[in-house]
């Protein structure tokens, strides 16, 4: 991300009108930009994208709405950066797991663990994705959400199918139903998980896997 020093924020209040969005963009420091995006993510997650205004984000960040336009040209740009950063990091972890040549059970374990780690790092972004991705993906700017979902589904279904073929998972397993169950029960954790809580993401993953895998593994 850009590392130029930010221009001082104006002290006069600026009206939230279309012309405000045409102000010259100023590159914030990576730390300041991250702070603003984290604040925006929390507001989007709590209030929903449509109900969130730039003024609400600015209020939460303790700045004027006009000042926020010096860092981002729109709330859409902020949301785009929040979601793309989350998905890029998610797929770095997933691709590493999928390329590791693990067995199907070990792959499921690693994917679940990586998913809980991403919830720990990007809880608000996950909550936004859960609530907003369906209607956002219809917009050209957010078409990558659909692409990611298709890739996600292929990775999980392929691993489950591989496990059934290898007789690691039960032959009577409904692959698609299992995938939907695992997907939804993992990512819904974003609605209750809080970073720095009693359990680490790795511990939550271990507990979750002990319940799920005992239900799908071949019984001896």
Cβ-in-10-Å burial (0-12, 13-18, 19+) of 31 comes to exposed
Integer Cα distance of 95 and 99 in angstroms: 6
Cβ-in-10-Å burial (0-12, 13-18, 19+) of 63 comes to middle
Could you count the other beta carbons within 10 Å of the beta carbon of residue 166?
12
Residues 174, 126 contacting (CB under 8 angstroms): no
Residues 65, 36 contacting (CB under 8 angstroms): no
Distances (CA, A) of 67 to 50, 57, 145, 148: 21, 11, 29, 33
Residues 204, 189 contacting (CB under 8 angstroms): yes
Q: Give pTM, 2 decimals.
A: 0.81
**Per-residue model confidence as pLDDT tens for the chain (220 residues):** 334 444 444 444 444 434 444 444 555 678 888 999 999 999 999 999 999 999 999 999 999 988 998 899 999 999 999 999 999 999 999 999 999 999 999 999 999 999 999 999 999 999 999 999 999 999 999 999 999 999 999 999 999 999 999 999 999 999 999 999 999 999 999 888 887 778 899 999 999 999 888 877 777 6
């Amino acid at each position: 991300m850009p590392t130029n020093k930010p221009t001082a924020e104006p002290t006069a209040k600026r009206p939230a009108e279309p012309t405000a969005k045409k102000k010259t963009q100023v590159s914030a420091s990576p730390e300041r930009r991250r702070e603003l995006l984290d604040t925006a993510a929390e507001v989007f997650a709590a209030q929903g994208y449509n109900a969130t205004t730039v003024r609400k984000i600015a209020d939460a960040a303790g700045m004027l709405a006009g000042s926020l336009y010096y860092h981002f040209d729109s709330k859409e740009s902020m949301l785009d950066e929040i979601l793309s950063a989350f998905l890029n990091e998610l797929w770095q972890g997933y691709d590493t797991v999928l390329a590791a040549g693990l067995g199907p059970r070990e792959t499921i374990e690693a994917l679940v663990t990586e998913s809980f780690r991403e919830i720990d790092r990007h809880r608000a972004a996950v909550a936004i994705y859960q609530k907003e991705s369906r209607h956002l993906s219809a917009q050209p700017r957010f078409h990558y959400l659909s692409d990611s979902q298709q890739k996600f589904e292929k990775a999980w279904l392929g691993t489950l199918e591989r496990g059934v073929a290898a007789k690691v998972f039960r032959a009577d397993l409904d692959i698609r139903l299992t995938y939907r169950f695992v997907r939804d029960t993992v990512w819904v954790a974003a609605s209750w998980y809080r970073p720095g809580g009693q359990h680490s993401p790795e511990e939550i993953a271990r507990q979750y896997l002990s319940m799920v895998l005992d239900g799908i593994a071949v019984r001896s």
